[in-house]
Amino acid sequence: MIIGLTGSIASGKSTVATMLREKGYPIVDADVIARQVVEPGSPLLFEIKEVFGDSVIEENGSLHRENLGAIIFNDETKRRQLNELMHPVIRIQMVSQKEQYLEQEYQTVIMDIPLLFESKLHSYVDKILVVSVTKEVQKQRLIARNELTEQEADARIASQLDMNSKEQGADAVIHNNGTMEETEKQLVEILEMWQAFPR
């Protein structure tokens, strides 16, 4: 079984991914892959520089994430341009990793995809597990974690599909407003319900 794990920014999806990893589930992490495919010297990084200019490259040749973020978070067209460059490369790597885990005879593979709905990757997975929080909790966590202003936090939250839509598209939802123990209890119940064992 392939489980798509998703949520919104600051919803606690990474916390749930860590719980799954500790339980022995293999995880294909789209964010990790997204960093790997833009390492210095990569063809993709060269393409990003061509499109967005020298300001998005650090002196040491790596991607200047803050500068690129400043460009794309407030410009829908530029964000789409970046996604069109990155997504095909990331998807190829994700599928390749998933296949490797299946060859190692894992029964369940977790695909951790923050923008699963936005990128329309439903067909990549058998079940969708959404980690959800209330808007208030999400905003508080985001401001605290990334040291953002309220306005910056709102812009980042608005750049993603709203939580209600994600919940409606999910096969199961973990409500992550409470304690870690409450979150883990929900996770275990869902995995048992789906009979989704690592091996």
Which residues fall within 8 angstroms of residue 161, CB to CB, at 6 or more apart?
A: 8, 117, 118
CA atoms of 68 and 55, how far apart (whole Å): 8
Q: Residue 93 corresponds to which tokens in the numbers above?
A: 């790597």
| Mean pLDDT, rounded, for 50-68 | 95
Is residue 6's pLDDT more than 90?
yes
Domains in the chain, start-ordered, CATH in brackets?
A: 1-26+107-193 (3.40.50.300), 37-105 (no CATH)
pLDDT band at 60 (very low <50, low <70, confident <90, very high): very high
Is residue 10's pLDDT more than 90?
no
| Average pLDDT, rounded, for the chain | 94
Q: Residue 64 corresponds to which tokens in the numbers above?
A: 């200047």
Q: Amino acid letter at 128?
A: I
Bin 25: left if φ > 0, else alpha if -120 < ψ < 50, else beta: beta
Q: Give per-residue pLDDT as tens, 167-191.
A: 999 999 999 999 999 999 999 999 9
Task: State how far the alpha carbon of 192 is from the alpha carbons of 7, 26, 121, 197, in Å.
Answer: 21, 17, 24, 8
Task: State how far the alpha carbon of 175 is from the alpha carbons of 13, 126, 179, in Å.
Answer: 11, 21, 10
End-to-end CA distance of the chain: 11
| Mean pLDDT, rounded, for 133-145 | 89
CA atoms of 147 and 44, how far apart (whole Å): 29
71, 111, 105: which is closest to 91 by C-alpha?
A: 111
Residue 129: strand pairing partners: 5, 172
pLDDT band at 199 (very low <50, low <70, confident <90, very high): very high
Q: In whole angstroms, how large is the CA radius of gyration of the chain?
A: 17
110 in Cβ contact with 28 (< 8 Å): yes
What is the pLDDT, as a whole number, of residue 69? 92
pTM value? Answer: 0.85
Q: Give per-residue pLDDT as tens, 77-136.
A: 999 999 899 989 999 999 999 999 999 999 999 999 988 998 899 999 999 999 999 988
pLDDT band at 161 (very low <50, low <70, confident <90, very high): confident
Task: State how far the alpha carbon of 42 is from the alpha carbons of 27, 38, 121, 136, in Å.
Answer: 24, 6, 25, 39
